[in-house]
Amino acid sequence: MNKFTRSLIGAAFVALAATPAFAETPKDSLVMAWQFDDIISLDPAEIFEVSGAEYGAQVYDRLIGIDLKDTSKIVPAVAESWTVSEDGKTYTFKIRDGVKFHSGNPLTAEDAAFSLQRAVKLNKSPAFILTQFGFTKDNVDQKIKAADARTLVMETDQAYAPTFVLNCLTADVASVVDAKLLKQNEKDGDFGYSWLKTNSAGSGAFKLRQWKANESLTLDANPAYWQGAPEMKRVILRHIAEPATQRLLLEKGDVDVARNLKPEQLDALRSSKDVRIVEAPKGTLWYISLNQKNPILAKPEVRQAFRYLVDYDAMGRTIMNGIATIHQSFLPKGFLGSLDDKPFKYDPAKARELLTAAGYPDGFTVTMDVRNVTPWTDLAQTIQASAAAAGVKIELLPMDGKQALTKYRSRNQDIYIGQWGADYQDPHTNAETFASNPDNADNGPSKTLAWRNSWDIPELTQKTKAAVVERDADKRVEIYHELQKVVMTDSPFVVMFQQVEVPVERASVKGLIWGPSFDNNLYRLASKK
């Protein structure tokens, strides 16, 4: 055999080996690669994480929802209609007939009342969304009740803007749970909490089959769903931390959707015919926050200096390219009153001036808790390097999403780098968490982001409260502008980016809905060719 033939045969072998072996996913199942190491609980009264919220949206129904085409509109869900009383305090919901839970129990107004009461009484992280209307453990049984099997009546402590109240009821925490089933699984008066953490009791398009933390989340279709059975018999979410692995799985057909690809991988996939890149702008913000319990970070000059230590432009052009846009106010674009100012640029000299004024001409050392997946780690390392230019030495502490969040919620961090997703489509959702902290005590009742960073702001808290009861829309916008300006220039928060979610689907997948927030991403209508 001469040299030429030999190399030809060699080339043939290489070509054969390179032909991808397709491991197709089952026709009736949707398989998704996603990072969901942040899920702490599957109980809708406790879910307060980005990934958990999306799970809640598949398994539970809420009374009302938002119109995904026009987020300022409220649409019926299990409540087919509703009325607000003259004095603006009493809300009456008419519950749809014929909706059934996965267990077969009919969904009634009693279930809806029980769900809201339960969330208030359990008082987990998201409970404030309901308790801000004056509900407490003791009065909620009177304030929210079922008048009859089809009528739910809710009474707030004062007249709020009705859209605000209704928007709050579109949040995950207002999901309707199966009261009968939970009562069967109740232990020591916990309203079935310890059971529901890892089980489901909903009426949604899917029911939970199995959750293995940081591994997989499997959902089965609910054939009796009132809006029609999903075409997919099963949805399997796989926790794949590595974007590179997600891309490989997607290209090989082992998954139908990859959720966490990086900009450079998206570039490589843009020309592929097998996959489709979807862009869904989200109301989710990337920010870093400085815990005010740390005496160094509590100095106003230091807080300001941090605004000049983030290289927004360079990150936006590279590691966040296509998956986020630069945004520096706490209201995401698309929300009422959102401010589009971007006054800050990377400027280490200016930061050093501010640090010198604060008494740290040579900088200082702090730690930063980082969720151990991209792009968190990329953002953190870039900030570490850009902050080092002004002498601020940041030690990164990489950890599980769950671990970082738990630490953050008990206020034990120095610097936290995180994502904040709006809970509902009203500016108050972010105003409340970024600009109000009613009680800064360690056991404070309202665990807003301001509280988590120990930022004591009685005046801003009052202003935030005033914005909710302001019925003149223009004046309301004005208050939100003012709040955003304060938080932007002098707060523990450095808001950096607004997320654009970029899921990549195989070309055969149709019908997945990527909404304006994670609890509006829906798998119900998905189908495969």
Partner 1 sequence: MTAREWLLSDTPQSRSQARMGRLYGGWLTFTGNRLAMVGLGIVVALMLMALLAPLIATHHPFAQDLANRLQPPSAANWFGTDQYGRDIWSRVVYGSRLTLYIVLLVALTAPVAGLLIGTISGYLGGWTDIVLMRITDVFLAFPKLILALAFVSALGPGIENAVIAIAITSWPPYARIARAETMTIRNSDFISAVRLQGASPTRIILGHVIPLCTSSLIVRVTLDMAGIILTAAGLGFLGLGAQPPLPEWGAMISTGRQYLLDQWWVATLPGIAIFVVSLGFNLLGDGLRDVLDPKN
Binding site for partner 1 (CB under 8 A): 242-244, 247-248, 262, 264-265, 268, 311, 314-315, 317-319, 372, 374, 377-378, 380-382, 384-386, 388, 395-396, 398
Burial of 209 (0-12, 13-18, 19+ CB in 10 A): middle
Nearer Cβ to partner 1, position 30 or 319?
319
CB closer to partner 1, 243 vs 253: 243
Least distance in Å: CB of 288 to partner 1? 16
Shortest distance, CB of residue 212 to partner 1, whole angstroms?
Answer: 21
Rounded Cα–Cα distance for residues 247 and 255 (Å): 9
**80 or 400, CB closer to partner 1?**
400
User: Terminal CA-to-CA distance of the chain, rounded, Å?
Assistant: 48
Cβ-contact 331, 427 below 8 angstroms: yes
Say which residue the tokens 């843009």 belong to.
Answer: 270
Reference 235, options 223, 224, 246, 220; nearest CA is 220
For tokens 């829906």, name the residue.
522
Min dist. Cβ of residue 368 to partner 1 (A) = 11
Which residue is listed with tokens 């009153």?
337
For residues 396 and 380, the answer to whether their CB atoms sit within 8 Å is yes
Phi, psi of 417 (to 5 degrees): -115, 120
* Rounded least distance, CB 17 to partner 1, Å: 16
From residue 236, alpha-carbon distances to 31, 49, 525 in Å are 5, 19, 15
Closer CB to partner 1, 226 or 376, in the complex: 376
Which amino acid makes up residue 476?
R
Query: What is the Cα–Cα distance from 487 to 338, expressed in whole angstroms?
Result: 13
> What is the closest distance, in whole angstroms, from the C-beta atom of residue 265 to partner 1 in the complex?
8
Least separation in angstroms between CB 256 and partner 1: 20
- Strands 280-290 and 324-326 turn out to be unpaired
| Pairwise CA distance, residues 363 & 296, whole Å | 10
Nearer to partner 1, 173 or 496 (CB): 496
Q: Which is nearer to partner 1, 66 or 319 (CB)?
A: 319
Residue number, 41 or 382, with CB nearest to partner 1: 382
Q: How far is the CB of 375 from partner 1 (least distance, A)?
A: 10
Structure tokens at 31: 């398989």
Q: Which of 291, 331, 302 is nearest to 417 (CA)?
A: 291
Q: Which residues contact 270 (CB under 8 A, 6 or more apart)?
A: 277
Nearest distance in Å: CB 486, partner 1: 31
Our CB check for partner 1 shows the closer of 58 and 382 to be 382
- Judged by CB, which is closer to partner 1: 389, or 500? 389
| Enclosing H/E stretch for 395 | strand 393-399
- Minimum Å gap between C-beta 371 and partner 1 is 12
CA gap 326, 443 in Å, rounded = 35
Strand spans (E) along 122-278:
144-148, 151-155, 206-212, 216-221, 234-239, 257-258, 275-277
Q: How do strand 504-506 and strand 415-421 relate by DSSP bridges?
A: unpaired
Considering beta carbons, is residue 403 or 508 the nearer one to partner 1? 403
Nearer to partner 1, 376 or 493 (CB): 376
For the CB of residue 244, give the shortest distance to partner 1 in the complex, in Å: 4
Nearest to partner 1 of 244, 469 (CB atom): 244
Q: How far is the CB of 107 from partner 1 (least distance, A)?
A: 45
Give the tokens for residue 429.
């959702």
**167 Cβ contact partners less than 8 Å away, ≥ 6 residues apart:** 66, 74, 424, 425, 426, 428, 429
Residue with structure tokens 């879910």?
47
Close Cβ partners of 412 (under 8 Å, ≥ 6 residues apart): none
| Shortest spacing between CB 420 and partner 1, in angstroms | 24
CA nearest to 244, candidates 266, 272, 276: 266
Taking the complex as a whole, how short is the minimal distance between the CB of residue 311 and partner 1, in angstroms? 7
Q: Which is nearer to partner 1, 372 or 498 (CB)?
A: 372
Structure tokens at 213: 């933390």
Q: What is the rounded CA–CA span in Å between residue 365 and residue 388? A: 10
